[in-house]
Structure 1
Amino acid sequence: MSENLSDNMKVIVFQLQDEEYGLPVQQVQSIEKVEHITRVPKTAPYLKGVINLRGVVTPVIDLRIRFGLKSDEITEHTRMIIVTKDDIDVGFIVDAANDVLDIPSDVIEPAPEVVGSIEVEYIKGVAKLDKRLIVMIDLNEVLKVKERGTLLSV
């Protein structure tokens, strides 16, 4: 393991089903409890709607549905991770937001061909830490709208 902090990536770790996923801290604005979501008609099934977050209308994506997993009910552990891409805030509904880790870059391996039932296009790599595997998410791919090939916009 490298002792040089510049070789580490600070990551927010969250959970979907029984798996752990990571997003770089610099892409995450905040982690919120799930609040009332206003549905928007004729949107993709994974786009749950929008919220008013501190005066900003923010689209909300259910990451379970986006990744092709079965949707689950919202519990006291469910969180919304607010990410920013190209000056657009987006909320991701996740089962839980576990912790923040420093992951050495040398423990992140390229994405394997298959990672459970999640399409590999959403995955940047997999970090192996002791007995934990953390799937690193590719924010650009998650926010892409397949039908149009563009980033999600509001």
Structure 2
Amino acid sequence: MELKVVSFMLGEEKFALDIMNVDSIVELGKIVRIPESNDYVEGIMNLRGTVIPVINLKKKFKMRDTERKPSSKIIVINLDDRKVGLLVDQVHEVLTITDKQIEQAPADLGKSKTNILLGIAKLDQDLLIILNAKELLTTQEQIELQGLTKLA
């Protein structure tokens, strides 16, 4: 079995998402902050006439947040019937990974109740953390984000 993924950087770490969950990759545009939203919510943006929430994945994963770089991009993913933007430091490439390269993530890794890791791919000397787009946000977080876009 093969999996096509979009690889990207958060700080010094490499992550990936299944390309089937990715709608598009867009340049960093104007993001409007929403008062009293969760700290990992950057705000909302206009994507081709549709207002979508933008999540800062570094903050969501409790990584040290840094200034936005010229290479920063927004990966737009499909979550059920809506789109969500994910702010990342840099988008690398589309890769094809075989199931032989993917190891299951240890079950006790992380404290999250959701299973946000699909697995870890071994690519030469690098490890690529493959995220489960459908599990990045809890049901409660998705409801809160939906409420943000209705305000706009």
TM-score by length of 2: 0.86
Pairing 1:128–2:122 present: yes
| CA-based RMSD | 1.9
1:104 aligns with 2:122: no
In structure 2, relative to structure 1, the CA distance for the partners of 1:24 and 1:130 (3 Å cut) is same
Choose from 84, 109, 114 the match for 1:90.
84
Please identify runs of 4+ aligned residues in structure 1 that moved more than 3 A: 118-121, 148-152
- SS of 1:125's equivalent? strand
> Percentage identity across aligned positions?
33
1:144 matches 2:138: yes
Give the structure 1 partner of residue 20 of structure 2: 26
Q: Name the structure where helix makes up a greater proportion of residues.
A: 2
Aligned: 1:38 with 2:32: yes
Aligned mates of 1:44, 1:75 — CA distance in 2 = 22
**TM-score computed with the length of structure 1 as normaliser:** 0.85
1:81-101, Cα deviation, whole Å (9 max, x unpaired): 000111211000001000000
Which 5+ residue runs of structure 2 have no aligned equivalent? none
Of residues 46, 51, 57 in structure 2, which corresponds to 1:57? 51
* Distance in structure 1 (CA, Å) of the matches to 2:26 and 2:123: 26
Runs of 5+ unmatched residues, structure 1: 1-6
